[in-house]
Amino acid sequence: MLRTFTCLFFAATATFAADSLRQATPWASGVGLSDRIADHPEDWPLLMKHFAYVTPENCMKPAATQPSAGVWRLEGPDRFVEFARSKDLKVVGHCLVWAKDDRTPAWFYQDGAKPASKEVLLARMKEHIDKMVGRYRGRIATWDVVNEALADGGGYLRDSGWTRACGEEFIAKAFEYAHAADPDALLIYNDYNNELDGKREQMLKLLASLRARGAPVHAVGLQGHYEIDRIPYEALEKTLIALREAKLKVVVSELDIDVIPRGRWWADNGSHHEEMSKINPYANGCPPEILARQAEQYAKLFKLFQKYPDVIARVSFWNLHDGQSWLNKFPWQRVNYPLLFDRQGQPKPAFTAVMKELTTPTSK
Residue closer to ligand G3I, measured from CB, 72 or 326: 326
List 148, 168, 227, 357, catalytic entry:
148
Residue 251, strand partner residues: 221, 314
Q: How far is Cα 46 from Cα 66, in angstroms, rounded to an integer?
A: 32
Q: Is 82 a catalytic residue?
A: no
Q: Is 254 a catalytic residue?
A: yes
Interaction of residue 202 with ligand G3I, rule CB under 6 A: no
- Whether cis (ω within 30° of 0) applies to the bond prior to 95 is yes
Minimum distance from residue 190 beta carbon to ligand G3I (Å): 7
Residue closer to ligand G3I, measured from CB, 222 or 353: 222
Interaction of residue 182 with ligand G3I, rule CB under 6 A: no
Residue 312, strand partner residues: 250
Q: Of 22-30, 54-62, 288-296, 337-345, which segment contacts ligand G3I by CB under 6 A? A: 54-62
List 57, 195, 254, 357, catalytic entry:
254
Interaction of residue 256 with ligand G3I, rule CB under 6 A: no
Q: How far is Cα 287 from Cα 224, in angstroms, rounded to an integer?
A: 24
Residue 91, strand partner residues: 54, 140
The 137-176 site mask, x for binding ligand G3I (CB under 6 A), equals ----------x-----------------------------
Per DSSP, the three-state class of 71 is strand
Interaction of residue 254 with ligand G3I, rule CB under 6 A: yes
Q: How far is Cα 43 from Cα 133, in angstroms, rounded to an integer?
A: 28
Residue type (1 letter), 63: A
Determine the size of the site formed for ligand G3I (CB under 6 A). 7
Interaction of residue 223 with ligand G3I, rule CB under 6 A: yes
Residue type (1 letter), 300: K
C-alpha pair distances (Å), 296 with each of 114, 222, 302, 357? 54, 21, 10, 10
Site for ligand G3I in 295-334 (CB under 6 A): 326
Q: Of 56-64, 108-116, 208-216, 333-341, which segment contacts ligand G3I by CB under 6 A? A: 56-64
Please list, residue by residue across 218-245, b when 16 or more beta carbons sit within 10 angstroms of its beta carbon and e when fewer do.
bbbbbbbbbbbeebbeebbeebbebbee
Binding stretches for ligand G3I (CB under 6 A): 57-58, 61, 147, 223, 254, 326
Q: Which residues are catalytic?
A: 148, 254
